[in-house]
Each structure stands twice: as structure tokens, then as C-alpha cells.
Amino acid sequence: MQQEQFILPAGVTVRDPQGNQYVIEGVLRKGEFGAVYLVRQRSQELHLFALKEAIHPNKGDRERFAFEGEVLTRLNHQALPRVHRVFEYDKLKRVYLLMDYIKGRNLEVLRREQPGTCFPLPQVLVLLAPIVDALRYLHTQDPPIVHGDIKPANILVPAGGGEAMLADFGSAKEYVPGTATSFLGRSSGYTAPEQYRTGTTPSTDLYGLGATLYVLLTGSAPIDAPSRLLGRLNAGVDPLTPANLLKPTVPLAVAQALQRALSINMADRFETVEEFWQVLLAHGTQQRPHAASRDLSQTSPPEQGIEDGGPESPQKEHMAPHAKKREALRILAGFLVMGAIGIAFFSALRGLTVLLLCCLGVLLLSLGALLYDFSSLARTLQKNPASVQGKKEK
Ligand SMILES: Nc1ncnc2c1ncn2[C@@H]1O[C@H](COP(=O)(O)OP(=O)(O)OP(=O)(O)O)[C@@H](O)[C@H]1O
Ligand SMILES: [Mg+2]
């Protein structure tokens, strides 16, 4: 409640030390320690920015903002938002970070809108490809940069089909072995166990990426690390449910790769994000969106498959040419009968003989059609006995 009155309403102007003025247009997100606003610069009316704030900043907040601003200004990658400046506004006792506004929504909001609150694997691989590329880039800096908070809410998906971007470097750190600092924020399923203990390393982002994939594919975030440690201690088993048990459409190899990325011990995880990604690509690209929906129909009750016409359609296609031939024979027979009646009518005496001969012809043709039916049924049975069995059961 107290937090609410700290959020600045639309129309308020924030000034930086250079005298630039930013007019608040709306709130993009209300957070625990401040908000992210959509702002418009007074002198550049057309240019929109995102302005992230920390209210009543302490030393830690100032350092965090300064590092977030510094790191994002220094780095240059298409999946990282461009930061313009970090400044303090003494009048309101707030620290600000001004960056380019990415019009769109974060991946957590998008996920919740999906049927089953999850995405199919091929779509997840497309969505996360630029994020993995950004992580590769961060981890190969000297010294490596650890993002430290990889989760769907920190991934922004631009409206109109642009590539996803990685936001929120508030937990980012330069990784110098032996100097890692531990995490003091809230716990969640995306927080790696070492963030409570020894501190972050590039492997921490691998854990966050694994947790992000887990929730995007299953619709449920992984159980948090402290509960996993407790479960192991008390019952001797890790209570992290494999992704394929939550969602049978997740291939076993992908579920196993996720379990490995989410290992409690860093040494049990993949060496690098790249190694993890290659395993996912090897198994994930085999599953096209079309194939994914076919897998779903395979796991659903048989009557569903019949309703959508799936399993029956090839059978229908197979029978279609025989039906056509049969129909042609019947039409021919009809013509012969009509012809015979006509001839009988016009030649009174010999008509009866002609009629009898034609009836014999029709009889022979019908017999032929019947034999053809039997032989094609026998062929179908030989090729696919299950299809006939299914029909019988129905
Ligand atoms: N540059 C941007 N353009 C558009 N929207 C943004 C931008 N930066 C942040 N946002 C929005 O604000 C939300 C929060 O941003 P960010 O994660 O940086 O702040 P935070 O205070 O660390 O939040 P949290 O504590 O939830 O991680 C994002 O999920 C996104 O919806
Ligand atoms: Mg965030």
C-alpha cells in the first residue's frame, strides 16, 4: 500500500543532471523497490524510453544500477537493450536507468496466455535462440559476465515478430574465480543452489536457462533449490519432476538434458551453455510444430484420433480408386440394360432374345465387380490388418 504512493503517475517529469526531461507516459511494471516506466523525452517527442527506478536507493542499489548501466553501455549485442544513462534524481530520492523502450511483452506474460501455459519445443528453441547467443557473448567476455537472473520475466519479446531480448542486469556480475558473491534476493525455481551459498558463476546462467526451458515446455516452474536440497536430505530423493513426466510431448532426451542443466552440483551440469544448447537442438529440431501436434494426438484417447479423421484418412484415400472402378462398371451395366430394353421394344419378335442376352451380360459384369471388391479387400487386409480390426471394434 505504502509502495503504491511511491509510483509516479503519468504526466510527472523526471530530470537528469544534464537537464534532460522525461515525461512519464505510463507504468510498464510495478516492482518491490521501484517501477519501470514508459517515458517520452521532452526535446525528442517521438522517442520513447523505458526508465527503471530504485526508490530510496542504498549503497547496494546505487552499485547495482551503476553496474547494470555500465555493463549494458559497454556491451554490444543485438539481444541486449541499449542503455543511455544512469542518474540520480535527488528531489525524489531515486536512482534511474534510462534505456531503449522495447515495445512488446515479457515471456512470462506470453507464456501464461498459451494453451496449457506452455509452448511447443520448436517454438521455445526459436524464442530462446537470441538469448542463448547473448549468454554465449556474455560468458566469453574477459572477465566473463554472469547475468544471474535468467527467467521468462526477464526476456522481452518485441511485438511484430522481432527477436527476443535479455533484460534486467540488476543481478549481473563479472565472474572472477574465487571472488563470487552470493545472492540475497527472493528464492524461486530459477535461482541456482550456489546463489545461496558460494555465489554465481557462468554455470548459474545455465541453471537459469534450464529452469526457463522447463517452465516454457511444461507450464510449471521447477521446484526451488532449497526444497530440492531439503527433499534430498530428508527422503534421499530429489523432488524435481522430470519435464517429460509433466508433459509427455517433451522428448526424453530433452528432459534428460534439462535435468542435467538443473543439477544441484555445478560439476554435474554441462560445461557451457553452448554444449547444453547443441543437445537441445539435436533433439528439438527433429520435432517440427506439425510433428508436435501429431505426438499429442498419439497420446490422446483413440476416439479423438478418429474424430479428427487422422488415422482413417489414408484408408479412405486407399479405397477411393476401387470405388471409382466399381461405379464405372455399374454405370456400364445400366447402359446395357437400357439398350436391351430399347432394342426389344423396336424389334418385337427377336426382342426377347436380345433382352435375354443383355441380361446375361449384365449378370456377368456384376459378378466381375463383386470379385474385384473381394480381391481389393483381401489386399487391404494383407497390408494393414489393424485398420479392419479397428472398424470391427467400432
Ligand atoms: N527496455 C524495456 N522496454 C520495455 N519494457 C521493459 C524494459 N525493461 C523492462 N521492461 C519491463 O519491466 C519488467 C521488469 O523489468 P526488470 O526485470 O528490468 O526490472 P526488475 O525491477 O528487476 O523486475 P523483477 O524484480 O521482476 O526482475 C520487464 O519484465 C518488462 O516487462
Ligand atoms: Mg526482472
Give residue 182's pLDDT.
57
Q: Residue 52: in which H helix or E strand, if any? A: strand 48-55
Q: How many helices (H) and strands (E) would you count in the chain? A: 13, 11
pTM of the predicted structure, to 2 decimals? 0.72
Q: What is the distance in A from the centroid of ligand 1 to the CA of 80? A: 13
Give residue 177's pLDDT.
76
Please state the atom number of ligand 1 nearest to the C-alpha of residue 168: 18
Residue 340, ligand 1, Cβ within 6 A = no
Give me 315's grid cell: 484408408
**DSSP string computed for 179-209:** ------S---TTS-GGGGTT---HHHHHHHH
Residue 29, ligand 1, Cβ within 6 A = yes
Quickly tell me which residue has 497420446 as its cell.
299
Burial class (CB in 10 A: 0-12, 13-18, 19+), 101: buried
Residue 34, CA distances (Å) to 97, 122, 379 in order? 12, 36, 73
Give residue 302's pLDDT.
27
Q: What is the distance in A from the centroid of ligand 2 to the CA of 153? A: 6
Residue 152, ligand 1, Cβ within 6 A = no
Give residue 375's pLDDT.
54
Please state the atom number of ligand 1 nearest to the C-alpha of residue 156: 30
Q: How far apart are the C-alpha atoms of 336 and 301, rounded to whole Å?
A: 50
Among 29, 48, 73, 109, name the best residue to mutate to test ligand 1's pocket (greatest count of ligand atoms within 8 A of Cβ).
29
Q: Whose CA is nearest to atom 7 of ligand 1?
A: 50
Give residue 32's pLDDT.
78
Cβ contacts of residue 332 below 8 Å, gap of 6+? 365
Residue 170, ligand 1, Cβ within 6 A = yes
**DSSP string computed for 225-291:** HHHHHHHHHHHSS-----HHHH-TTS-HHHHHHHHHHT-SSGGGS-SSHHHHHHHHHHHHTTS-HHH
Give me 75's grid cell: 556491451
Task: Give SS3 for 298.
Answer: helix
Give residue 307's pLDDT.
25
Cβ contacts of residue 258 below 8 Å, gap of 6+? 210, 213, 214, 217, 242, 243
Give residue 320's pLDDT.
35
Q: Whose CA is nearest to atom 13 of ligand 1?
A: 29
**Residue 14 bridge partners (DSSP):** 22
What does the pLDDT profile of the chain (394 residues) look like in tens digits?
444 448 999 999 999 999 999 999 999 999 878 899 999 999 887 789 999 999 988 998 898 899 888 888 889 999 999 999 999 998 888 999 999 999 999 999 999 999 999 999 999 999 999 999 999 999 999 999 999 999 999 999 999 989 999 999 988 888 877 665 555 566 699 999 999 888 899 999 999 999 999 999 999 999 999 999 999 999 999 999 999 999 999 999 999 999 999 999 999 999 999 999 999 999 876 665 443 333 222 323 222 222 222 222 323 333 333 444 445 555 565 565 565 555 555 555 565 666 677 557 667 766 665 565 555 444 534 443 333 333 333 3
Which one, of 383, 382, 337, lies nearest residue 360 by Cα?
337
Give residue 296's pLDDT.
24
Give me 223's grid cell: 521446484
The greatest distance separating any two alpha carbons of the chain, rounded to the nearest whole angstrom, comes to: 122
Angle 319-325-329 from CA coordinates, rounded to 5°? 140
Q: How far apart are the C-alpha atoms of 51 and 363, rounded to whole Å?
A: 89
**DSSP string computed for 71-100:** HHHH---TTSPPEEEEEEEGGGTEEEEEEE
Q: What is the distance in A from the centroid of ligand 2 to the CA of 205? A: 14
Quickly tell me which residue has 439398350 as its cell.
339
